Amino acid sequence: MKKLLIIAPYPLGEAPSQRFRFEQYLSHFEKNGWQCELHSFWSISAWKVLYQKGKYFQKFFGLLTGFARRFFLLFRIRSADAIFIHREAAPIGPPFFEWVIAKIFHRKFIYDFDDAIWKPNVSASNGFANRFKWYNKVGSICKWASVVTCGNKYLCEYAFQFNHSVEFIPTTIDTSYHLPGKKNNTIPVIGWTGSHSTTYYLNALMPVFKKIEEQFQFELRIISNKDLQLPLKSYRFIEWKKETEISELQQFDIGIMPLPNDEWSKGKCGFKLLQYMAVGVPSVASPVGVNTEIVLDKLTGWIASTDSDWQKILSTLLQNKTERESVIENARTHIENNYSVNAMREKYLTLLNSISK
């Protein structure tokens, strides 16, 4: 068995960026001769408090132990047949560990990212950390990598400035797990799923929700890790749980993904849309970044550019079940062919084999 050493920020099974970028491929790698070791920076206990307000001692202790784990990990670098780095080896400071791997140990590695992480973007609960972030390290790590894998073409364009060995591997869905299900709603459900730290994406649509509340009876169902407490009579909060994630998504009648037209949003990889479409939920999205590649307007979903578009489309879909269901089959096929684990797993495996010692 060859050994794959994975360096990533978060514990296994906890963060969407890891689950949808590489974790769902691990069983396929193992079936094809790779022993996979995931080494996260944050421990599970530190991860649980990371985005909570306060808890400064626990966060600081988690940071120190994370750096300690990274130091001891350096002694395992030479034993690995391939190295895969997701986002960054450490959340603050310069790319010291990546530099050691590339320049001291002279080891090849794949560098993977799925957001515009060279742009400042720190959660409100950890704003102090922004002083110690080293955003320009992304370009350096790209330069040192043997291959850079990115979740959309906008990210690929950035990486190509530093390294010409760049591969577009979209964020993907396991379509054998994400399946359509039977709905049991008494009124239509407009749904959104995401972290509480991305609430501001929804805030822009608050005027739209208030207007359509005056005309239609519906539920705005939000699946998140924290109650967003939106001031809407249609609002209902569902706590995100891995065990119920799919069954809760299946109950959406309409899935939404609003985004502002900014540089950070252009780096998003659309995994909300992938989830919605894979489980048979008609989707409406802003025309930002990869959204327009995933949602083919009126064929696999709907694109809404303005508040007027959002209001018109949502109003139509709330009234017309046949209209909603008209895109479901096309959307599912589009995901299976272009954004599924089955569609991309051999490409990932080929890249691993190409850099193994």
pLDDT in tens, 45-55: 988 888 777 88
pLDDT class of 121 with cuts at 50, 70, 90? low
What integer pLDDT is reported at residue 28 of this predicted model? 94
Reading the block at residue 150, the tokens are 């990115």
The backbone region for 276, taken as left when phi is positive above 0, alpha when psi lies in -120 to 50, beta otherwise, is alpha
Among residues 112, 88, 94, which one has the least CA distance to residue 22?
Answer: 112
**How many beta carbons lie within 10 A of that of residue 261, not counting itself?**
11
Count the alpha carbons within 13 Å of 162 in the hemisphere toward its beta carbon: 20
Sign of CA dihedral 30, 144, 40, 22: negative
CA distance 16 to 7: 16
- 306 to 299, 309, 310, 336: CA distances (angstroms): 19, 5, 6, 29
**Percentage of the chain with pLDDT > 90?**
75
- pLDDT digits 0-9 by tens, 208-262: 999 999 999 999 999 998 888 899 999 999 998 889 999 999 999 999 999 988 8
- pLDDT digits 0-9 by tens, 301-338: 999 999 999 999 999 999 999 999 999 999 999 999 99
Q: Taking 90 as the threshold, does the pLDDT of residue 196 lie above it?
A: no
- The single-letter code of the amino acid at 352 is L
CA distance 137 to 120: 12
- pLDDT digits 0-9 by tens, 163-187: 999 999 999 999 998 999 989 899 9
| Confidence (pTM) | 0.87
Reading the block at residue 311, the tokens are 């209001």
Q: What is the DSSP code string of 57-80?
A: HHHHHHHHHHHHHHHHHGGGGGG-
Reading the block at residue 236, the tokens are 């209902």
CA angle 331–191–202, rounded 5-degree value: 110
- pLDDT digits 0-9 by tens, 53-93: 788 889 899 999 999 999 999 999 999 999 999 999 999 99
What integer pLDDT is reported at residue 130 of this predicted model? 61
Give me the domains of the chain, ranges plus CATH numbers: 2-172+342-355 (3.40.50.2000), 189-338 (3.40.50.2000)
User: Are 270 and 290 contacting, i.e. CB atoms less than 8 angstroms apart?
Assistant: yes
Higher pLDDT: 84 or 134? It is 84
Alpha helix locations (H) across 23-152? 26-31, 44-50, 56-73, 96-99, 137-144
Q: Taking 60 as the threshold, does the pLDDT of residue 124 lie above it?
A: no
**How many beta carbons lie within 10 A of that of residue 199, not counting itself?**
17
Q: Taking 60 as the threshold, does the pLDDT of residue 125 lie above it?
A: no
Q: Taking 80 as the threshold, does the pLDDT of residue 129 lie above it?
A: no
Count the alpha carbons within 13 Å of 298 in the hemisphere toward its beta carbon: 3
**How many beta carbons lie within 10 A of that of residue 348, not counting itself?**
22
Tell how far CA 260 is from the center of its chain: 17
357 CB-contact burial (10 Å; exposed 0-12 / middle 13-18 / buried 19+): exposed
What integer pLDDT is reported at residue 122 of this predicted model? 56
